[in-house]
C-alpha cells in the first residue's frame, strides 16, 4: 500500500513537468548543441512555410529547442543572435521566478501584505483595505485594485484605487505587478538587477537587464537568454543539476492554476489546456484553452507584440519568439496559436491530413456521460486517445460519429485527435 501511495505522489508532483534527459548549454560559451529537423521527421517545405509566416508577422528571432538542443534558430528583419530585444509582459514570468528566489532566502512570505515592503499609503485605499493586499494577490492578478482607471500602468497611489476585496476579482493589471520590483528590492536590500544577476542570470548563462520604460521595468536580453530561461522552466527550476529555485511547492504553484477565477493563469504565467480563460481589459470568461493549437500542458510567457516563451513538458520542447506584431494586444494569444498551427504541420506525416480538415472539428457534449459525438468525423480518417490526469491513455480507437465513453471513470480527461503521428487537436473533457 505504501508503495502504491508513493507512486501516486510521484505522479502528481512530476506528472506534468517530468525529468526528461535534457542537454544544457555551457554557461559561459556560445556553444549550443543542435539537432537537425530531419532527425525529427520534419519536412523542409513545412519549415519554409513556418519561416515565411514568422517573417511576415514582424518576427525578429525564433528559437525552438528539443531536449535542450537547438532544432530551429532563425533571425529575420535585420536581427542577429546578439541583438537585444524587450520581453514586455513575458518578463512577468521572470519576476515570478525572482519572487520564488526571495522566498527561498526567507526574505518574503506570499501572505505578507504588500505594505510591509512598500510602506503605507502605496495605494489610495483605506489602511484596512490596503493591508489586505498581499504579494500573492499581486502575482495572481487578484489585488482588487481598479484596472479600468485611465492609466492602468500608473503606479502612483492616486491611480491605485480599491474596487473589490483582494482575491474576489481577477484582472490583468500592470501597475500592481510592476510594484513587485519594489517588493523584491526592499526585501532583498539589492537592486532588482543585482538580485536577478546573482541568483539567476549568472547561474544559467543568461544575459539581460531590467530597464525603466515609462512606469514599467522591462527586461531586455538576447534571444538565446530567453531560450535558456525556457529551458530552466522546462526542468522545474534546475539548471544542469544546480537547483536554482529550491521551493518546489512554489514552482508547482507557479505553473498551475493559482485561483479559480481564471484557471489559465498561474503565478504570472499563462497556462494552456484549462476549462476557461480571461483576457486583459475584460471580465468575460471564455470557455476552452487559451491557445487551442498548442498542447494542453503548455505554459507560456506572453508579452506585447508577440514576445513568447512556450514550454511544453510532454514534448520536452521550448520555443521563443521575439519581434513585432500587427495587432498590438497586451497578450497576443492568437499569434501564439497561429505559430502552433505551423509547428503542428512540421511532421511529414501531416502531409497526409485530409484536405477538408480546416484545423478544428466540433466534439460534444462536454461534460460527457455515455457518448462522445462528432457530426462530421465520418468524413475523416482520424483516431482518438483519452488521457487521464496521470498521463495514461485509458481509451483509444477510430474517431467515428459517436464513441462510447461509458467505461471511463468520472473525472477530467484530455482528448487527442490524431492522424498518423500528428496530434491535430486537443480538448479537455469532464466525464460525469
The CATH number assigned to the domain holding 417 equals: 2.60.40
Same domain, 220 and 314: yes
Kindly state the percentage of the chain with pLDDT values over 70: 90
Report yes or no on 207 lying in a domain.
Answer: yes
User: Pick from 325, 352, 379: which residue ends a domain?
Assistant: 352
pTM for the predicted model, two decimal places: 0.79
In DSSP notation, 76-130 reads: -TT--TT--EE-GGGHHHHHHHHHHHHHHTTS--TTSBTHHHH-TTSSSS-HHHH
Residue range 295-312: average pLDDT?
Answer: 96
Same domain, 262 and 409: no
Q: No. of H helices and E strands in the chain?
A: 13, 19
The whole-angstrom separation of Cα 298 and Cα 135 is 25
Report yes or no on 308 lying in a domain.
Answer: yes
The whole-angstrom separation of Cα 66 and Cα 62 is 14
Residue range 45-55: average pLDDT?
Answer: 97
Report yes or no on 9 lying in a domain.
Answer: no
Report yes or no on 358 lying in a domain.
Answer: no
Please report, for the domain that includes residue 173, its CATH number.
Answer: 3.40.710.10
Same domain, 402 and 277: no
Q: In the β-sheet with 383-387, what is the strand arrangement from edge to edge?
A: 393-398, 383-387, 411-419, 422-431
Identify the residue with better confidence: 370 or 224. 224
* Cell 492616486 belongs to residue: 158
Domains of the chain: total: 2
Q: What b/e sequence results for 284-299 when a residue is b if at least 16 CB atoms lie within 10 Å of its CB, and e otherwise?
A: eeeeebbbbbbbbbbb
Q: Which pLDDT value is given to residue 357?
A: 56
Report yes or no on 194 lying in a domain.
Answer: yes
- Domain range for 144 is 18-352
Q: Which pLDDT value is given to residue 370?
A: 87
Q: Which pLDDT value is given to residue 349?
A: 67
Same domain, 215 and 293: yes
Report yes or no on 227 lying in a domain.
Answer: yes
Same domain, 25 and 70: yes
Kindly state the percentage of the chain with pLDDT values over 90: 73
Written as nine digits, the cell of 256 is 498551475
The total number of residues shown for the chain amounts to 432
The whole-angstrom separation of Cα 47 and Cα 52 is 9
Q: Which pLDDT value is given to residue 383?
A: 87
Band of the pLDDT at 360, cuts 50, 70, 90?
Answer: low
Q: Which pLDDT value is given to residue 382?
A: 86
Same domain, 250 and 137: yes
The whole-chain average pLDDT of the chain stands at 90
User: Pick from 352, 384, 400: which residue ends a domain?
Assistant: 352
User: Pick from 352, 382, 405: which residue ends a domain?
Assistant: 352
Same domain, 394 and 247: no
Least confident among 71-85, 116-130, 391-405: 391-405
Report yes or no on 3 lying in a domain.
Answer: no
Q: Is the peptide bond before 365 cis (omega within 30 degrees of 0)?
A: yes
Predicted confidence (pLDDT) at residue 10 exceeds the cutoff of 50: no
Residue 84 has phi, psi (to 5 degrees) of: -95, 140
Q: Which stretch, 104-118, 333-347, 368-382, 396-410, has highest mean pLDDT?
A: 104-118
Classify the C-alpha dihedral 352-357-360-366 as positive or negative. negative
Q: Which pLDDT value is given to residue 19?
A: 40
Residue range 168-194: average pLDDT?
Answer: 98
Residue range 58-65: average pLDDT?
Answer: 98
Same domain, 339 and 388: no
Report yes or no on 12 lying in a domain.
Answer: no
Residue range 285-308: average pLDDT?
Answer: 95
Q: Which pLDDT value is given to residue 8?
A: 38
Same domain, 231 and 376: no
Predicted confidence (pLDDT) at residue 355 exceeds the cutoff of 70: no
Same domain, 176 and 296: yes
Residue range 188-206: average pLDDT?
Answer: 98
Q: Count of alpha carbons within 13 Å of 379, Cβ hemisphere only?
A: 11
Written as nine digits, the cell of 32 is 549550443
Same domain, 333 and 392: no
Same domain, 207 and 273: yes
Residue range 178-193: average pLDDT?
Answer: 98
Amino acid at each position: 500500500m505504501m508503495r502504491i501511495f508513493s507512486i501516486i505522489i510521484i505522479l502528481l508532483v512530476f506528472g506534468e513537468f517530468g525529468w526528461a534527459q535534457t542537454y544544457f548549454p555551457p554557461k559561459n560559451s556560445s556553444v549550443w548543441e543542435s539537432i537537425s529537423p530531419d532527425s525529427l521527421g520534419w519536412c523542409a517545405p513545412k519549415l519554409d512555410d513556418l519561416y515565411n509566416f514568422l517573417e511576415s508577422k514582424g518576427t525578429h528571432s525564433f528559437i525552438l529547442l528539443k531536449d535542450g538542443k537547438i532544432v530551429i534558430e532563425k533571425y529575420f528583419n535585420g536581427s542577429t543572435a546578439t541583438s537585444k530585444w524587450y520581453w514586455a509582459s513575458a518578463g512577468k514570468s521572470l519576476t515570478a521566478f525572482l519572487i520564488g528566489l526571495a522566498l527561498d532566502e526567507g526574505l518574503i512570505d506570499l501572505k505578507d501584505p504588500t505594505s510591509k515592503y512598500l510602506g503605507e499609503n502605496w495605494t489610495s485605499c483605506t489602511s484596512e483595505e490596503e493591508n489586505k493586499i498581499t504579494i500573492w494577490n499581486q502575482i495572481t492578478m487578484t489585488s482588487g485594485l481598479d484596472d479600468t482607471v485611465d492609466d492602468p500602468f500608473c503606479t502612483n497611489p492616486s491611480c491605485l484605487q480599491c474596487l473589490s476585496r483582494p482575491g474576489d476579482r481577477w484582472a490583468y493589471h500592470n501597475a500592481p505587478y510592476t510594484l513587485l520590483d519594489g517588493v523584491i528590492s526592499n526585501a532583498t536590500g539589492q537592486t532588482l538587477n543585482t538580485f536577478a544577476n546573482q541568483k539567476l542570470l549568472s547561474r544559467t548563462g543568461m544575459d539581460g537587464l531590467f530597464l525603466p520604460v515609462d512606469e514599467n521595468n522591462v527586461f531586455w536580453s538576447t534571444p538565446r537568454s530567453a531560450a535558456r530561461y525556457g529551458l530552466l522552466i522546462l526542468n522545474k527550476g534546475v539548471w544542469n543539476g544546480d537547483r536554482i529555485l529550491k521551493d518546489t511547492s512554489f514552482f508547482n504553484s507557479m505553473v498551475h492554476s493559482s485561483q479559480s477565477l481564471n484557471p489559465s493563469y498561474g503565478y504570472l504565467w499563462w497556462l494552456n489546456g484549462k476549462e476557461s480563460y480571461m483576457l486583459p481589459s475584460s471580465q468575460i470568461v471564455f470557455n476552452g484553452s487559451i491557445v487551442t493549437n498548442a498542447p494542453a500542458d503548455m505554459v507560456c510567457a506572453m508579452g506585447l507584440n508577440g514576445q513568447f516563451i512556450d514550454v511544453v513538458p510532454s514534448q520536452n520542447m521550448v520555443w521563443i519568439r521575439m519581434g513585432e506584431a500587427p495587432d498590438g494586444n497586451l497578450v497576443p494569444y492568437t499569434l501564439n496559436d497561429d505559430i502552433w498551427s505551423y509547428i503542428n504541420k512540421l511532421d511529414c506525416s501531416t502531409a497526409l491530413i485530409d484536405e477538408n480538415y480546416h484545423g478544428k472539428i466540433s466534439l460534444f457534449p462536454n461534460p460527457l456521460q455515455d457518448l462522445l459525438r462528432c457530426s462530421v468525423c465520418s468524413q475523416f480518417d482520424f483516431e482518438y486517445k483519452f488521457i487521464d490526469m496521470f498521463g495514461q491513455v485509458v481509451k483509444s480507437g477510430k474517431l467515428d460519429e459517436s464513441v462510447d465513453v461509458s467505461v471511463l471513470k468520472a473525472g477530467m480527461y484530455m482528448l487527442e485527435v490524431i492522424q498518423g503521428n500528428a496530434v491535430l487537436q486537443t480538448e479537455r473533457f469532464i466525464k460525469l
